[in-house]
Amino acid sequence: MSLSHPIRIVAPVSVRAVIDDLLGSLLPSRCPGCGAAGAPVCPACATGLRAARPAPPPAPVAWWTSLYAYEGVAREMVARAKYRGERRALIAVARDLAAAIERAPHPANVITWVPASADRRRARGVDHAEVLARVLARESRRRVAPLLHRYPGPAQTGRDARARRRGPSLRAFGVPAGATVLVVDDVSTTGGTLAAAARALRSAGAAAVYAATIARTPAPGSRSTGPAYTAPKSMS
């Protein structure tokens, strides 16, 4: 099969059912900015979502896209997804991310995600990066597959910049030879996680690795000074 065109496979029925559940009444339907019921992000708060500034991808990532600067409503949206399981807004913006990846130099053949650490999965009950990747695959009608294994180690959150740039310890498996792989994550700070994923995927046979994130941390001096969302004690 030629790899010049994306493999367009919708997520399996079982996965589709899970996604439908997440989009349904089991998820909160309150704006992460003001708490208003209704849309995942209300129109007033949506006007405060600042686009991520253009930045070169972290090598060896060949291309990347990010929707928002990681501040304000976008910061709260991601934090609530991580610490409270309030993923509806993240799932909704996957539609915008699906449009953004169409601007890549070449179509991606398969979408994957950077797995959360085992401790984070146990604490949250779900890997929200996987949820995001599967919804993005559904919206863009592309194949999605788990291609990365994360070895035990500390989470990126809370590490200093030097440690974050090294990224987590990852191994790739089952990568189609010569494929262009799109890696999905929620936030990029130093780009270390995406770079580590790209190194692993390229070593396993990927021809190119692209990246897509919901948000990107603004450069020092341009970020919001508002308080960060604080995780409940049981989740810290």
Per the CB < 8 A criterion, the answer to whether 67 and 99 are in contact is no
Q: If pLDDT is split at 50, 70 and 90, which confidence band does 235 have? A: very low
The per-residue pLDDT for range 216-232, each reduced to its tens digit, is 998 765 554 443 333 33
Tell me, yes or no, whether 232 lies in a domain.
Answer: no
Tell me, yes or no, whether 230 lies in a domain.
Answer: no
Cβ neighbours of 96 (radius 10 Å): 13
Kindly give the residue spans of alpha helices, DSSP state H, lying in the chain: 13-23, 43-46, 72-84, 88-101, 118-124, 128-140, 161-166, 192-203
Predicted pLDDT of residue 172: 98
For 197-214, what is the mean pLDDT?
97
Is the model's pLDDT at 11 over the cut of 50?
no
Per the CB < 8 A criterion, the answer to whether 135 and 19 are in contact is yes
Q: What is the CATH number of the domain that holds 95?
A: 3.40.50.2020
Tell me, yes or no, whether 183 lies in a domain.
Answer: yes
Give SS3 for 210: strand
- Structure pTM? 0.78
Predicted pLDDT of residue 155: 59
Cα-Cα-Cα-Cα dihedral sign, residues 73, 74, 77, 78 = negative
Is the model's pLDDT at 178 over the cut of 70?
yes
- Judged by average pLDDT, the poorest of 49-53, 159-163, 192-196 is 159-163
Cβ neighbours of 163 (radius 10 Å): 13
For the chain, the domain total comes to: 1
Tell me, yes or no, whether 235 lies in a domain.
Answer: no
User: Which of 66, 84, 113 has the alpha carbon at shortest distance from 209?
Assistant: 113
Tell me, yes or no, whether 6 lies in a domain.
Answer: no
Is the model's pLDDT at 164 over the cut of 70?
no
Alpha-carbon gap, residue 16 to 200, rounded angstroms: 28
Tell me, yes or no, whether 18 lies in a domain.
Answer: yes
Q: For residue 79, what are the contacts with CB-CB under 8 A and spacing of at least 6?
A: 228, 229, 231
Is the model's pLDDT at 57 over the cut of 90?
yes
Give SS3 for 184: strand
Kindly give the residue spans of alpha helices, DSSP state H, lying in 56-87: 72-84
Predicted pLDDT of residue 1: 34
Tell me, yes or no, whether 126 lies in a domain.
Answer: yes
Tell me, yes or no, whether 192 lies in a domain.
Answer: yes
The per-residue pLDDT for range 70-115, each reduced to its tens digit, is 999 999 888 887 777 677 777 778 889 999 999 999 999 999 999 9
- Which residue segment(s) compose the domain that 178 sits in? 13-219
Instruction: Enter the tokens of residue 11.
Output: 């997520």
